[in-house]
Chains A and B, each alone.
Chain A
Amino acid sequence: MTSVKKDKNLIVIQLSGGNDYLNTVVPHGDGKYYDSRSVVNIPQDSVLDLDGKIGFNPSMKAMKSLWDQGKVAVINGIGYEEPNRSHFRSMDIWHTAEPNAIGREGWLGRVIRDLDPKGENVLTGINFGRGLPRALGCPGVPVASVGDLETYGLFPDLKDEDLRMFTLEAFSRMYGGALGRDPVIDLLSQTGQGALKGADILRTAPEIYQSDVEYATDALSQRVKNISQVLHADLGSRILYTQHGSFDTHSGEIITHAKLWEEVDRAVGCLMDDLQEHGREQDASILIFSEFGRRIRDNGSGSDHGSGGVAFLIGGSVKGGLYGEYPSLSEAEQLEGDLKSNNDFRSTYTDILEDWLDLDAVPITNGTFEKLGLFAS
């Protein structure tokens, strides 16, 4: 396979609901962890150790293997000042990179705009799942939202192929007329044409894609497979987004959290295998984040909204290792019973924007933030 310099891709997996940091990267060497988490803890001998003090949740086998290969950056204690423990608000903050006001533009929406200022490729940014996460939203920036790649596009309920073809053809003629009559009608024409073209192009992705990797059948794995199909079809998609959840484990946490991470781990493992198989490991990076971590003390069955979490950056070009500091569990260092974050999430964004996507970070992150050095130069 010839090695052509490819555009860098960013894949984002959002963990919705507030992933429990303490049970994801477990401070098994710290007695205070077991004191505070008397019920909802990971036994020391189950933890997949990283450095003798902290380790991964036992569900994270593939990620542990990637860690051993130096491809996983663990960003400990990530967050922002004055943490917000409301799902909506905190997720909005991550999405708009704006902790102090209500932002209108998603950071990735701005990225898409910067990558494709004239909006020439409606597939530059794609969300896999229905609706559009705020992170990708930016007025005037087209983003596709793909619920199911196989059926994406107009009239997905039309099963009769011939009928669908006729209908799409009629649609194309209705929307393909001359412009210049009325600005609203013109906008509709252009948008409709663009959507049709985008859908046509996207639907070719599963046909172009070939791979030996077998993805699991659960919903996240299938969405990540769609991400892989689109990425490898070279349609110009640079930002590929999906989310998984719910990580809001207020009760029955051990079982639910383990299962969720099994799914994430499996999907990430398959995706990395796929990238490797196609020789694209150096060209794609995966960001995994959540809107906040959870409380230090458990509530007897699960854990409640906290602050200060963990994020991961995974890829062949990532400089694997531990970043930030693992927050202290001692009473004095706690923030109202929560972990205190020690690095702003916008620093991670800055690494990605400048060192990976080659963009000017400051206008996107609404400020200047010190990089962590997440990418191998």
Chain B
Amino acid sequence: MSTSMSPSKIGLEYVKTIGIVNNGLNGRGFANPYSILVGKDGRIFVLNRCDPNRAAAIRIGICNIDDEYLGEFGKGSGSGDGQFVWAVCMAMDRSERIYITDEYNHRVTIYDSSGQYISHWGTYGAEKGQINGPAGIAIDSQDNLFLVDQHNSRVQKFSLDGNFIGAWGSFGSGPGEFNLPWGLATDKVGNVYVADWRNDRIQKFSNHGEFVAQFGSSGSGEGQFQRPTGLVIDADGYIYVADWGNERVQVLDSDGKLQIVLKGEATVSKWGEEYFASNPEEKIGRDNSDLVPELPDHLKTAYHISSQTEPYFWGPVGVALDFEGNLYVVETNRHRFQVYRRI
């Protein structure tokens, strides 16, 4: 389902949902996923933040568009090499190494795409080059690594192995200022976009940190945001924003004009079908249910609606594109991602 105010210049068509909740320590499924990436060969990497009871199982899961679960990697919870405590975002470099930020350990950890731990860098602090709560991360075509440094209210630029290059930002709500920023992305020409979470807006900067533009304001109207968490820019300059607090994804053109609003329309995934095959009584109950019910007034906030309406996005925290421009939206509270085809 795609809706827009004035005729949209692009189209997105729902394809499928992949996922199932995994409350164990391994195996197919996801556990409060926080980020998603698609590699060149179509392998899909999902970062499982995991709740504290299952922290030992913090991992990156790998699957493909055909619902094959290809494996997982991670070394559990902690501060040792390769471990995470609050893993939050991922980025991939051109050698397909994966960079994961940990906002508790204040560092970037690097794995290769076969799951081998490589290294980590980052020290806690407020000096240039030090980090306090890394979140969004992206790598441009020149191998510059941009990092959101949320508690220092800034964006920092590093080399891939963590050498400081530059930084910009301070706390506030003016241009170039941030309030607990979260996601970050770059476009084809190296501009840097930040999901300025608590300012309910997107900010666009040049590769060197000069403020270019800002999009959005607080609210649930069209083109407004409520705590945007993640974003990705396609080759045409369209901006896909995970509008987390409004439980939706909004697509803007490069001038910031709203094109499409997606609410999510998940269907049962293949892994879900496998579950129902061995639990038929639940399938029967489900088939007799209205999965998009009418709700009483006091439950009509986006968050509550999504908690009751299974097809809708719930906690859409990260977005990714594959090499064909298809969109992947990962939902923390539903342990799945929905795929939209670009049409």
Contacts and interface: CB of A to CB of B under 8 A. Distances in A.
Interface in B12-68: 20, 22-29
**Dominant SS among interface residues on chain A:** loop
Interface of A: 246, 248-253, 255-256, 295, 297-304, 336-337
A250 B24 contact: yes
A252 B271 contact: no
B271 A300 contact: yes
Interface residues of B, number: 18
Contact of B24 (A295, A298, A300, A302): A302
Given A251-B26, A256-B26, A336 B278 contact: no
Rank and list the top 3 A-B pairs by shortest CB-CB distance, nearest first: A252-B27, A251-B27, A252-B26
A246 B54 CA distance: 10
Given A250-B22, A251-B22, A297 B278 contact: yes
Q: Which of A249, A251, A253, A255 has the most CB of B within 10 A?
A: A251
A252 B25 contact: yes
A301 B27 contact: yes
B277 A297 contact: yes
Contact of A248 (B24, B27, B278, B279): B24
A253 B27 contact: yes
B280 interface: yes
Contacts, number: 59
B275 interface: yes
B256 to A, nearest CB: 42
B24 A251 contact: yes
Contacts of A303: 278
B324 interface: no
B281 interface: yes
Contact of B279 (A253, A302, A304): A304
Contacts of A255: 26-27
Contact of B275 (A248, A249, A253, A299): A299
B179 to A, nearest CB: 37
Contact of A304 (B26, B29, B275): B275
B277 A250 contact: no
B274 interface: yes
Scoring B27, B274, B275, B281 by chain A CB atoms within 10 A of each residue's CB, the highest score goes to: B27
A290 to B, nearest CB: 16
B277 A299 contact: yes
A243 to B, nearest CB: 15
Contacts of B275: 299-300, 304
B280 A248 contact: no
Nearest to A251: B27
B25 A300 contact: no
A301 B27 CA distance: 7
Given A299-B277, A336-B281, 6 more contacts: A248-B24, A253-B24, A299-B275, A299-B278, A301-B274, A337-B280
9 contacts: A249-B24, A250-B23, A251-B28, A252-B24, A252-B25, A255-B27, A256-B26, A299-B277, A337-B281
Contact of A299 (B25, B26, B274): B274
A249 B278 CA distance: 14
B279 A299 contact: yes
B279 A295 contact: yes
Contacts of A304: 275, 278-279
Interface string B261-297: 0000000000100110111110000000000000000
A300 B279 CA distance: 12
Nearest to A252: B27
A229 B290 CA distance: 57
A337 B24 contact: no
Residue among A250, A256, A337 having the largest count of chain B Cβ atoms under 10 Å = A250
